[in-house]
């Protein structure tokens, strides 16, 4: 009799920064012999034709016509969790009936709470994939502690103070500003986000050497096995993950630039800035006199077209030196020898992708984990410079500092060292590669 096919069902949260690592994990498990199904919402559905090796199941998310912006995220999450449950259950029942197959477990993004509810009711084990750093997850405990001791709202003057037992974070770096009351709906969401329910284990897209202490602290909260197998974009075979079409022409533009001369600028897939900041960034980049490649996503401004909102003379001022694109093949850009620095919002994927290529960063965090990541980049790993202010002069100075000064050169050297350290963790006997082996043994034992 032919051996049973061992299938894993993976359920991503349908936004770029979460979808990417889940697809990478799927590719990694597929390479290790598992059959893969990705159960996804119709909203931001992955381009299924890119992955002939996977099966897909579209869930009825009921999100058509909804406001999918960051500001409406909590409502969307709650609707998605209510709406997807029935079709997910139907899908799992269907897989369970397949002959010659064994459904081993479901791996899901912890925001998709319905997954654990359904899997539990069918006696199927689940594993959580955490797509952020452990340091970010751990920082929530400080927020809960402040709330429990009725210390929110915290006075402005305390923002710069260190959070006890949470080095290197200040109150200012917590994922939510403690100077404002936390609405009940947000508090409830965070508590549920920090609860892994009945899941059997947690997979982390992080590297032990970067995140060791927060991982140890969280292990006390969640007494289940942790598998630290990041950075997934390097551990997995390469695969396309972009939800937006990439402008690959920028790679030939980079081919013509001197090594280490270009600053790459991108604020990821979700961050929104205002028109003033966009124009200050444009003028600062122009004044820095440094070559730059800038991703100006259409949705970077709330409501208006970002590219059309750039200062009128911007194109003329930076002609030949700067290139603006709507979306770049970021991993290839960061690997390119012409790129010497990354002006980033410090999303966790961007952070890992930059660290893996030894590219130092200018940190302009916008929300949530980005604040925590930025603090680690600037104050623990020493490979990032804080953007002092988003006005033109602040941008100009940060770019010059990173790209031209001795301080920038030292950061580049440290970044090169971190790249090697991460490679060691991924190599034979390294923490990520060993953890992956343990994960596979664990999944086999389920």
Q: Which residues bind ligand UDX (CB under 6 A)?
A: 16-18, 20, 131-132, 242, 266, 268-271, 295, 327-328, 330-331, 347-350, 353, 368-370
Q: CB–CB of 44/20 below 8 Å?
A: no
Residue nearer to ligand UDX on the CB measure, 368 or 402: 368
Q: CB–CB of 426/235 below 8 Å?
A: yes
Residue nearer to ligand UDX on the CB measure, 92 or 207: 207
Q: What stretches of 175-274 show up as alpha helix (H) in DSSP?
A: 184-193, 208-221, 232-235, 249-255
Shortest CB 324 distance to ligand UDX, Å: 11
Inter-axis angle of helices 348-356 and 369-379, to 10 degrees? 30
Residue nearer to ligand UDX on the CB measure, 16 or 219: 16
Shortest CB 327 distance to ligand UDX, Å: 4
Shortest CB 129 distance to ligand UDX, Å: 12
Question: Strand locations in 225-287, DSSP E?
Answer: 226-228, 262-266
Residue nearer to ligand UDX on the CB measure, 291 or 347: 347
DSSP state for residue 301 in the 8-state scheme: B
CA-CA distance, 381 to 33, in Å (whole number)? 36
Backbone angles phi, psi at 295, to 5 degrees: -90, 110
Q: CB–CB of 88/39 below 8 Å?
A: yes
Residue nearer to ligand UDX on the CB measure, 247 or 413: 247
Query: CA-based diameter of the chain, in Å?
Result: 71
Tokens 């406001």 map to which residue? 67
Q: CB–CB of 244/298 below 8 Å?
A: no
Residue nearer to ligand UDX on the CB measure, 190 or 391: 190
Shortest CB 412 distance to ligand UDX, Å: 20
What does each C-alpha distance from 223 to 153, 195, 216, 217, 228 come to in angstroms? 32, 12, 11, 11, 15
Residue nearer to ligand UDX on the CB measure, 228 or 349: 349
Shortest CB 172 distance to ligand UDX, Å: 17
Residue nearer to ligand UDX on the CB measure, 34 or 136: 136
CA-CA distance, 145 to 35, in Å (whole number)? 43
Burial 163-195 (b: 16+ CB within 10 A, else e): beebeebbbbbbbbbbeeebeeeebebbeeebe
Shortest CB 446 distance to ligand UDX, Å: 28
Shortest CB 246 distance to ligand UDX, Å: 6
Shortest CB 93 distance to ligand UDX, Å: 31
Residue nearer to ligand UDX on the CB measure, 20 or 35: 20
Residue nearer to ligand UDX on the CB measure, 127 or 272: 272
Smallest Cα–Cα separation from 310: which of 347, 343, 273? 273
Residue nearer to ligand UDX on the CB measure, 119 or 352: 352
Tokens 């452990």 map to which residue? 134
CA-CA distance, 60 to 279, in Å (whole number)? 41
Shortest CB 18 distance to ligand UDX, Å: 6
CA torsion through residues 229, 234, 238, 244, sign: positive
Shortest CB 97 distance to ligand UDX, Å: 35
CA-CA distance, 45 to 39, in Å (whole number)? 10
Tokens 């604040």 map to which residue? 371
CA torsion through residues 220, 221, 225, 228, sign: negative
Shortest CB 330 distance to ligand UDX, Å: 3
């Amino acid at each position: 009799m032919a051996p049973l096919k061992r299938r894993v069902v993976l359920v991503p949260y349908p936004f770029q920064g979460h979808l990417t690592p889940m697809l990478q994990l799927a590719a990694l498990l597929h390479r290790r012999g598992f059959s893969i199904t990705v159960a996804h919402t119709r909203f931001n559905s992955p381009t299924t034709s890119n992955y002939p090796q996977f099966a897909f199941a579209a869930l009825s998310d009921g999100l058509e016509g909804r406001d999918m912006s960051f500001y409406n995220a909590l409502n969307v999450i709650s609707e998605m969790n209510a709406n997807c449950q029935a079709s997910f259950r139907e899908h799992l029942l269907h897989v369970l009936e397949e002959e010659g197959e064994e459904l081993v477990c479901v791996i899901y993004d912890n925001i998709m709470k319905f997954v654990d509810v359904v899997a539990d009711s069918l006696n199927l084990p689940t594993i959580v994939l955490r797509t952020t750093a452990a340091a970010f997850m751990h920082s929530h405990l400080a927020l809960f502690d402040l709330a429990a001791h009725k210390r929110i709202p915290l006075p402005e003057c305390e923002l710069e103070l260190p959070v006890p037992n949470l080095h290197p974070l200040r109150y200012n770096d917590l994922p939510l500003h403690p100077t404002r009351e936390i609405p009940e709906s947000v508090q409830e969401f965070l508590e549920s986000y920090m609860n892994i329910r009945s899941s059997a284990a947690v997979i982390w897209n992080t590297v032990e050497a970067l995140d060791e202490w927060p991982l140890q602290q969280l292990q006390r909260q969640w007494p289940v096995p942790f598998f630290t197998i990041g950075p997934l974009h390097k551990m997995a075979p390469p695969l396309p993950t972009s939800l937006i079409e990439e402008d690959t022409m920028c790679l030939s533009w980079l081919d013509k630039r001197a090594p280490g001369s270009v600053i790459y600028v991108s604020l990821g897939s979700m961050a929104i800035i205002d028109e003033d900041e966009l124009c200050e960034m444009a003028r600062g980049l122009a004044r820095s006199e440094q070559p730059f490649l800038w991703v100006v996503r259409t949705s970077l401004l709330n409501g208006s077209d970002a590219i059309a909102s750039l200062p009128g003379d911007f194109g003329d001022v930076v002609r030949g030196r700067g290139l603006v694109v709507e979306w770049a093949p970021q991993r290839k850009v960061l690997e390119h020898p012409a790129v010497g620095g990354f002006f980033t919002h410090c999303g966790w994927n961007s952070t890992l992708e930059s660290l893996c290529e030894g590219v130092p960063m200018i940190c302009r965090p916008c929300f949530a984990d980005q604040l925590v990541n930025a603090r680690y980049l600037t104050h623990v790993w020493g490979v990032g410079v804080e953007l002092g202010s988003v006005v033109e002069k602040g941008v100009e100075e940060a770019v010059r500092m990173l790209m031209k000064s001795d301080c920038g050169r030292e950061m580049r050297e440290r970044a090169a060292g971190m790249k090697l350290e991460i490679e060691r963790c991924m190599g034979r006997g390294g923490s990520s590669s060993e953890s992956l082996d343990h994960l596979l043994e664990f999944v086999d034992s389920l």
